Structure 1
Amino acid sequence: MLYPFIMLLILLSTVDLSKQNVTDNILMSLSKGITYFEKQGTHINLDSVVGYIILQGKTLMSGYIFYNTNLVCLSDLYESLSTAVSSLQDTDSKYFKEFEPLLDSSFWSLPAEWSSIDPSLSYTSSRTMECYDEHLSDKCMTLLLGTWKDNGTPCIITKSCRDIMTQFGCLHYFLSHHLLYFMIGSMKGCSRMFKGDMRLSCINITVEHYQRIYNIMKSNQDIFRNGLPGQMQDIFIENILLCGLVGFSDFYKLDWIQSVLLWQYQEVGCFGKEEDLKHLFIYLLDVPHKRVKKREKTLKDGCSSHITGVAVSALGGFLNYYLSEQDKTKMPLI
């Protein structure tokens, strides 16, 4: 069944952060990002398609379509997503089968309520080397999803996955993927298994407890304080997306969203500059045990597939949060 029309607001053709309402900027950016996806969707990798699926299924469909009278209808996103998913099935069939559940918008859920990070759950020390590689991370997630083999049993938590996913002191991508692991387990319905398994371990931790670990916020604060270097933009926006999905409104900061909006190529609508991607790959490959994105790719016009998908989804999260809060207060956003 086709989704209802998606209505987006466009007031100007360029972003003017000092004069325009933040929601206008977000909607304008999303409009351009969706137009880009309609043209390049068959070339975008699975991680990026997931970002657009979260955007389409859980953010823009939240009912805030009458915010302003100057609206434009973008009803082709659903069709473009279907085409992109079919393309993934043909071009990367193994990875597609392993993570196919994430391509269903019903898999993802909006937070029932907003909460704040608890600084007391921060750990004080960090490792000098990263914790695990992407292959092991993917394997542990497929064990939760039940896609580790045909008709596989879901919610399997092996000792090696438990140990690596509850390891403290991890940084950057590894910390965010620890959170993603618990998110997937919770959305798949594995929470009871998590609790039972954790009682057997030396780490007294639950899904909710782990999600509240403060270090992801600390990581983003440090990245922002250091001027958002190009090689760190990807993890910065990934943290906003994941923590926003969990329900932490702390990550929806106006100065952060203003920075993300400036990363968009205004002419074509994608995110992630080519020169920044070069710095990102040097950063990942030059340091031992860093997570290397196996399926990251540079798209037409020198844009990052991963950053583009994650950025539009995170912006949709910003939009959902700010508009829901405005509904409660009936006050201007800025």
Structure 2
Amino acid sequence: MRAAVLALFAAAWCGARAEVIDDVLRSLARGASFLERQHAHINLDGVVGFLMLQAELKEAVRTWPHSDPVSWAQRTTAVALVKRLDQSFDKAVAALQRNDPKYYREFEPLLSWSFWVVPREWSSTERSLVYRSTRTTECYDEQLSDKCLTLLLGTWKMNGTPCIVTKPCRDTMTRFDCPHYSLSHQLLYFMIGRMRGCTNLLKGDTRPSRANMTEHSYQKIFCSNMMKTNQDIMRQGLTEQTVDIFMENILICGLTGFSDFYKADWLRHILQLQDEEVGCFGRDESAVSQVIGDELLEQLQPHRRVKRREKILADGCSSHMTAVAVGALGGYLNFYLSEQDITKRPLS
């Protein structure tokens, strides 16, 4: 009797999972259409988010279970999606190089799907690691963050040595009590360092209180606090102001290997945020006239640096939010396919 109940539960769960994967693939196909249309205008953050998605899709295709015709048909859909994205990337990266050559050169190593390593093992956050209190303002400075990343990547000068960690970078990137985007940039720093092959980002830290800290320790602390942020956001209700950081936390903590970010109800919220007409996320039609004005200003000041954090496109779409959303969805897809133990799947 128990075996029959378990078999029934497994069949129902597999059917539900197939429907969810269909929903994710449909959403990603609309996202790919958006990239195809906007490849010449999307900013560097936007391209990087789609490249994270591409890494996740390629891993998903590689490990896709050949269990039944439905699953195999879904894999065929994913393969077609990978090919579409590959074609768009060539055009998008060429546009980035043309529009902002200095910025392109500094972050060129990130502009390949093969840079982004998809997790094969999973861990979970811990409530006990949440800060007792956090700063009310960000401790993040975009210029310092960019400089620290170029030192890791080796792009701080032509043929620069990679994996350089200065004291200001280490102190900023290991600081506790930072909120929101500061947290996600701290995590991104460690994540990019690991993927670049930098083996000891903490060398030279002589603080006794940090003697036993490893890079994974910091990642776990950051993601535990990012989990608390997301739970608070959900409790208070998603708003236009909080949805971007909510999805960014899912994207980068998921890519770091924290599977408890892949909650089913969070996935439903992300899918509902997509604009059905143009396939993007964060669309604000009232911003269109403002965008046209900004584009005129860019034509008058062609060397003005394009702001990395955000770019609202001519159709009112958010370049950054769309890229973050599709990257997060790719993480969900890859996790659902790679995690074979049904007890660990995010069913609630």
Same fold (TM over 0.5): yes
Is residue 241–residue 310 contact of structure 1 (8 Å, CA) maintained in 2? yes
- Runs of 5+ unmatched residues, structure 1: 1-17, 279-291
Deviation string for 1:215-240 (max 9, x for gaps)? 11101111111111111111111110
Tell me the amino acid that sits aligned with residue 297 of structure 1: K
Query: Aligned equivalents of 1:331 and 1:211: distance in 2?
Result: 21
Query: Aligned equivalents of 1:146 and 1:332: distance in 2?
Result: 38
Alpha-carbon distance change, 314 to 117 in structure 1, aligned in 2, over 3 angstroms = same
- Is residue 245 of structure 1 aligned with residue 244 of structure 2? no
Is residue 60–residue 316 contact of structure 1 (8 Å, CA) maintained in 2? no
Tell me the CA shift for residue 39 of structure 1: 1.2
Aligned partner of 2:108 among 88, 91, 100? 100
Tell me the CA shift for residue 27 of structure 1: 0.7
Query: Aligned equivalents of 1:276 and 1:235: distance in 2?
Result: 22
Query: Aligned equivalents of 1:106 and 1:24: distance in 2?
Result: 25
Give 1:202-217 correspondences, 5 Å limit: 203-204=210-211, 205-213=213-221, 214-217=224-227
Query: Aligned equivalents of 1:207 and 1:333: distance in 2?
Result: 26
Q: Over alpha carbons, which structure has the higher Rg?
A: 2
Alpha-carbon distance change, 229 to 295 in structure 1, aligned in 2, over 3 angstroms = closer
- Runs of 5+ unmatched residues, structure 2: 1-15, 289-305
Deviation string for 1:12-59 (max 9, x for gaps)? xxxxxx998211111110011011111111110111101111111233
Is residue 51–residue 112 contact of structure 2 (8 Å, CA) maintained in 1? yes
Tell me the amino acid that sits aligned with residue 179 of structure 1: L
Query: Aligned equivalents of 1:101 and 1:91: distance in 2?
Result: 17
Tell me the amino acid that sits aligned with residue 337 of structure 2: L
Give 1:274-313 correspondences, 5 Å limit: 274=284, 294-313=308-327
Tell me the CA shift for residue 328 of structure 1: 4.4
Tell me the CA shift for residue 202 of structure 1: 5.4
- Is residue 315 of structure 1 aligned with residue 329 of structure 2? yes
Alpha-carbon distance change, 96 to 202 in structure 1, aligned in 2, over 3 angstroms = farther
Is residue 166–residue 178 contact of structure 1 (8 Å, CA) maintained in 2? yes
Query: Aligned equivalents of 2:329 and 2:160: distance in 1?
Result: 35
Query: Aligned equivalents of 1:79 and 1:181: distance in 2?
Result: 29
Alpha-carbon distance change, 293 to 20 in structure 1, aligned in 2, over 3 angstroms = farther
Query: Aligned equivalents of 2:232 and 2:335: distance in 1?
Result: 23
Aligned to 2:55: 57
Residue 42 of structure 1 aligns to a residue whose secondary structure is: coil
Deviation string for 1:144-199 (max 9, x for gaps)? 1111111111111111111111111110000110000111111112232x232234
Aligned to 1:24: 22
Tell me the amino acid that sits aligned with residue 210 of structure 2: I
% of aligned pairs identical? 55
Alpha-carbon distance change, 295 to 174 in structure 1, aligned in 2, over 3 angstroms = closer
Aligned to 2:202: 195
- Is residue 269 of structure 1 aligned with residue 279 of structure 2? yes
Deviation string for 1:256-277 (max 9, x for gaps)? 1111111111111111121798
Tell me the CA shift for residue 115 of structure 1: 0.7
Query: Aligned equivalents of 1:182 and 1:333: distance in 2?
Result: 26
Instruction: Figure out how many residues of one structure are paired with residues of the other and give that number.
Output: 302
Tell me the CA shift for residue 319 of structure 1: 0.5
Tell me the amino acid that sits aligned with residue 196 of structure 1: K
Is residue 230–residue 277 contact of structure 1 (8 Å, CA) maintained in 2? no
Alpha-carbon distance change, 34 to 179 in structure 1, aligned in 2, over 3 angstroms = same
- Is residue 183 of structure 1 aligned with residue 191 of structure 2? yes
Alpha-carbon distance change, 58 to 20 in structure 1, aligned in 2, over 3 angstroms = closer
Is residue 134–residue 293 contact of structure 1 (8 Å, CA) maintained in 2? no
TM-score, with length taken from structure 2:
0.80
Aligned to 2:303: none
Tell me the amino acid that sits aligned with residue 164 of structure 2: I
Tell me the CA shift for residue 82 of structure 1: 0.7
Is residue 175–residue 216 contact of structure 1 (8 Å, CA) maintained in 2? yes
TM-score, with length taken from structure 1:
0.83
Tell me the amino acid that sits aligned with residue 298 of structure 1: I
Aligned partner of 1:130 among 126, 138, 163? 138
- Is residue 150 of structure 1 aligned with residue 148 of structure 2? no
Residue 230 of structure 1 aligns to a residue whose secondary structure is: coil
Tell me the amino acid that sits aligned with residue 198 of structure 1: D
Alpha-carbon distance change, 333 to 233 in structure 1, aligned in 2, over 3 angstroms = closer
